[in-house]
Amino acid sequence: MTGREQIDGVLREFAPQVLATLVRRYGQFDACEDAVQEALLAATVQWPGQGVPKQPRAWLLTVATRALIDEWRADSARRRRETAAALDAPGYAPAADLADDHPGDDRDDTLALLFLCCHPALSPPSQLALTLRAVGGLTTAQIAAAFLVPEATIARRIVRAKQRIRDAGARFELPAQPQRTERLGVVLHALYLIFNEGYTTSSGSALQRTDLTAEAIRLTRLLHRLLPGEAEVAGLLALMLLTDARRAGRTDPDGRIVPLAEQQRDKWDAAGIVEGQAILTRNLGSGPVGPYQLQAAIAALHDEAPTAEATDWPQILALYDVLTTIAPGPVVTLSRAVALAHVHGPRAGLAILGTLDTDQRMAHTHRLEAVRAHLLEQAGDTAAARDSYLQAARMTASLPEQRYLQLRAARLRSGGPPGGSG
Amino acid sequence: MKYMIMMFGGLGAATQNRSPEWIAGMHELLMKLDTELKESGECLASDALADPSQARTVRFVNGAPVPTDGPFAEVKESLAGYWILDVDEERALQIAAQVVGYTEFPMEVRRIMDHSAQP
C-alpha cells in the first residue's frame, strides 16, 4: 500500500511533463489535457493498491496516450475532424521527431504550459482552474473541493478555457520578449490569486480541502526554479512564504479572526519566515524592484517584529511610499494610511482615507470602512468608530469578517456611553 | 422529508444593542449547530446571505427589467440565512427552537416540495 501524499506528490511532479510530451507529439492541447486527466484518475484508483510503478512517468504517458487514441477512435467522424484540426492548427504543429520524449526540455515545457494556462484571453477563474489541473496535476474533483464549488462547474470552466485558448490561436511555446515580461505578470497574478483564495478562506473550516496556499507555493517555487533570474518571481515566492508563516496566528481555536496586532507571534512558522527572508535578501536588487518584492519586504518587517509594538512602522511606511509610486492603487493607499497612522497618528491616516471616499473601486468593499473604524477607535472617537464597524459589517461578504466587525462594534458600545440609536 | 429553516434580517439589527459576550455566544451557537448538523448528515446545505443593504432588486419598470438598489422585502423580513435539512418536521422544529431559545428572534420552518409524484 502506498500513501496518498506520496502518490499526489509523484502525480503533481510528472503531470505537466507528460502533458507537454503529448502536446509535442500530437498537438491538440485540449484533447491531450483530457487524456492526462484520465491517466491521473487511473493512477489515483490503481496506485494505492498496486503501488507506484517503477517508472511513473512512462506509466502515465502510456495510459494517457491510450486514452487519447481511444478518444480519437471513438467517433470516426469526429476523428477526421480532430485529425484535420491537429494538422491544420498552426499553434499545434506536432514536433518533427515524434519518438523523442524530449526529457531535457522539461524546463521550457512546464514554463510554456504555465504561459498557456494563464493566457490573457482567459478569465482569472479559468486561468486558476486550468493551471491547477494542467500544471498542478490536480483532478477536477480536488479543484472543485478547494474552491467549494460543484465538480461540474470546474469541469465546464476547464472545457470553456481550452476552447478559448484554441480560439485565440495560442501556441504551446515560450512567448518572446517583449510580450514575455507582460505574460509573466499574468502568470504571477494567477499564482497570487490561487494563494489568496486559499489564504483568505482557510479560517475555521473543518471541511476537507485541498490546500490551495500550499499548491500556490509549490507552483511558484517551481517557477522560481525555472526562472531564477526573475526578481519578481522570487519576490512573489517570498511574499507567499512570509504571509503563510502567520497563518496559525490568524484565527483563534473557534475560527475567529485575530488581527495582526493581537496575534500570538510564537504561533508563527519560524522556518517559513527564515526561508522567505533568505529568498528576499538573495534577490533584492538583482533586478528592478517590483510590487511583489516590496510587499514581501513589508511582510518581512511584520514577521521580524517580536511584538506588535516593536514593528518598524517608519520603514514600512517608506516601503509603501515606494509602492505608491511604482504600483499605485486604492488598496495600496489604504495600507499606506494604516502605516501613516502608526507613524504620525490616527488623524493623519484618516485624512488619507478621505481621498478614497469618492473612489468607485472602493465602493463595493468593506475594507475602507473597516480601516476607518480602527483608526477612529485609535483616535478615541468611539461613536463614529462603532458606526464605521457596523457599516463595514453590513458591507462584507465574509462571514468570519462580519462576525469580527460586529464584535468590535459591540465592544465599543459596552465600553462607551449607554444607549445609541440601534 | 426536507425542510428549510429561515432566519431573517431583523436578527442582525437586533444584535446591535447586545453585549459582545451575547454576540460571541450567538456566533458560537450557530457555528456549533451548523457543524453538528453537517456531521450528522441532517444538513444538506446552509448559508448566510450578505446584508440586505447590499442587495439589488430587478424590477419591471416602463416595460423593461431594471436593477434597483435595496431588497424587495423590508430589511427585517428579508432572508438572512437558511438551513436545508433532511429531517422530519418534529426534528426541524426542535432545531429551530434551539436557535430561537437563544436569539429570541423568530425563524420560519417550511417543508420543501417533493419532486416525485408519490403522495
Residue among A106, A392, A68 nearest A257 (CA)? A392
Confidence check: pLDDT of A202 > 60: no
ipTM: 0.84
Q: What is the pLDDT of residues A8-65, one digit of tens each?
A: 889 988 999 999 999 988 888 989 999 999 999 999 899 998 889 999 999 999 999 9
What are the tens digits of pLDDT across the range A111-137? 889 999 999 999 988 999 999 999 988
CA of residue A329 relative to chain centroid, distance = 20
The verdict on a CB contact (< 8 Å) between B50 and A397 is yes
pLDDT for A42: 92
Q: Is position B60 within any domain? A: no
- Would you state the pLDDT for residue A81? 62
Crossing angle of helices A140-147 and A151-167, in 10° steps, is 110
**Is A422 in contact with B28 (Cβ distance < 8 A)?**
no
Nearest CA in chain B to A419: B17
Note whether A411 contacts B48, CB cutoff 8 Å. no
Give the span between the Cα atoms of A165 and A119, in whole angstroms. 7
Q: What is the mean pLDDT of residues B54-59?
A: 91
Residue A84, domain extent = 1-90
User: Is B16 a member of any domain?
Assistant: yes
Chain B residues with CB inside 8 Å of A407's CB? 20, 23-24
User: Which pLDDT value is given to residue A78?
Assistant: 61
Q: Which long-range contacts (CB under 8 A, 24 or more apart) does A369-372 make?
A: A369/A395, A370/A396, A370/A401, A370/A405, A371/A334, A371/A337, A371/A338
Q: What is the pLDDT of residue A85?
A: 57
In a domain, B105, yes or no: yes
Residue that is last in its domain, among A90, A106, A129: A90
Closest chain B residue by Cα to residue A386:
B16
Cβ neighbours of B45 (radius 10 Å): 10
> From the CA of B53, how many Å to the nearest CA of chain A?
7
With 50 as the cut, is the pLDDT of residue B111 above it?
yes
B79 in a domain, yes or no?
no
With contacts defined as CB-CB under 8 Å, which chain B residues touch A422? 13, 16-17
pLDDT at res. A288: 82
Q: Which of A270-279, A360-369, A387-396, B20-29 has the lowest mean pLDDT?
A: A360-369
Q: Which of A322, A279, A286, A331 is nearest to A303 (CA)?
A: A279
User: What average pLDDT does this structure show over A256-281?
Assistant: 93
C-beta atoms of A410 and B50 within 8 A:
no
Confidence of residue A203 (pLDDT cuts 50, 70, 90): very low
Answer yes or no: is B93 within a domain. yes
Last residue of a domain, one of A70, A90, A110: A90
Cβ–Cβ < 8 Å for A296, A276: yes
Nearest Cα neighbor of A134 from A42, A36, A21 is A36
| pLDDT, averaged across chain A | 85
3-state SS assignment for residue A257: strand
Domain annotation covers residue A349: yes
Which of A149, A394, A396, A421 is the best mutation test for B, with the most CBs of B within 10 A? A394
Predicted confidence (pLDDT) at residue A99 exceeds the cutoff of 70: no
Higher pLDDT, A106 or A101: A106
Question: What DSSP line would sit under A274-334, residue for residue?
Answer: HHHHHHHHHHTTSS---HHHHHHHHHHHHHH-SSSTT--HHHHHHHHHHHHHHS--HHHHH
Residues of B in contact with A377 (CB under 8 A): none
| CATH number (domain holding residue A347) | 1.25.40
As given in the structure block, the three cell numbers for residue A351 are: 485624512
**Alpha-carbon distance A393 to nearest alpha carbon in chain B (angstroms):** 8
Range A210-235 average pLDDT: 90
Summarize the confidence of residues A157-164 as an average pLDDT. 92
Percent with pLDDT over 70 in chain A: 88
Three-state secondary-structure class, residue A251:
strand
Nearest to A16 by CA among A230, A226, A279: A226
The DSSP-derived string for chain B is -EEEEEEETHHHHHHTTS-HHHHHHHHHHHHHHHHHHHHTT-EEEEEEPPPGGG-EEEEEETTEEEEEES-SS-GGGSEEEEEEEES-HHHHHHHHHHHHHHH---EEEEEPPPSSS--
What local confidence, expressed as pLDDT, does residue A421 receive?
39
Beta bridge partners of B5: B83, B109
Q: Is the pLDDT of residue B13 over 80?
A: no
Q: Which residues of A touch B33 (CB under 8 A)?
A: none
How is residue A291 written as a grid cell?
510590487
420552518: which residue's cell? B109
Closest CA to A215 of A242, A197, A235: A197
User: Cell triple for residue A132?
Assistant: 491547477
Give the count of beta carbons closer than 10 Å to the beta carbon of residue A277. 20
Residues of B in contact with A397 (CB under 8 A): 50, 54
A58-87 as b/e: b if 16+ CB within 10 A: ebbbebbbebbeebbeeeeeeeeebeeebe
Q: Which of B12, B24, B31 sits opposite A255 (nearest CB)?
A: B31
Residue A176 pLDDT: 86
pLDDT for A92 beyond 50 = no
Q: Is A76 left (phi over 0), alpha (psi -120 to 50) or beta?
A: alpha
Q: How far is A422 from chain B (nearest CA, A)?
A: 6
Q: Is residue B99 in some structural domain?
A: yes
pLDDT of residue A84: 58
Domain final residue, candidates A90, A119, A145: A90
Record: contact A420-B54, CB cut-off 8 A: no
Chain B CB contacts of A394 below 8 Å: 12, 51, 53-54
Choosing among A207, A257, A388, A399, which should be mutated to test the B contact, i.e. which has the most B CBs within 10 A? A399
Residue A418 confidence class, pLDDT cut points 50, 70, 90: very low
Cα–Cα distance measured from residue A117 to residue A365, given in angstroms and rounded to the nearest whole number: 29
**Is residue A190 pLDDT above 60, yes or no?**
yes
Q: Looking at the DSSP assignment, which residues form a beta bridge with residue B68? A: B57
The string of DSSP letters for A326-395 reads HS--HHHHHHHHHHHHHHH-HHHHHHHHHTTTT-GGGTT-SHHHHHHHHHHHHTT-HHHHHHHHHHHHHH
Whether residue B45 is contained in a domain is answered as yes
Instruction: List beta partners, residue B107.
Output: B7
Domain that holds residue B28: 2-51+85-111
The confidence score (pLDDT) of residue A400 equals 82
> Is 80 exceeded by the pLDDT of residue A413?
no
Q: Which residue type sits at B8?
A: F
pLDDT at B89 over 90: yes
**Site of grid cell 483616535:** A379
Q: What is the pLDDT of residue A82?
A: 59
What per-residue confidence (pLDDT) applies to A75?
A: 60
The angle at the Cα of A335, spanning A120 to A399, to the nearest 5 degrees, equals 80
What is the distance of C-alpha B33 from the center of its chain?
13
Q: What is the domain count for chain B?
A: 1
Question: How does residue A76 score in pLDDT terms, banded at 50, 70 and 90?
Answer: low
Stretch among A67-71, A86-90, A334-338, A356-360 having the lowest mean pLDDT: A86-90
Tell whether B119 is covered by a domain. Answer: no
Q: Within a domain: residue A353? A: yes
**Residue A299 — very low, low, confident or very high, per pLDDT cuts 50/70/90?**
very high
Structural domains in chain A (count): 2
A243 within a domain of the structure (yes/no): no
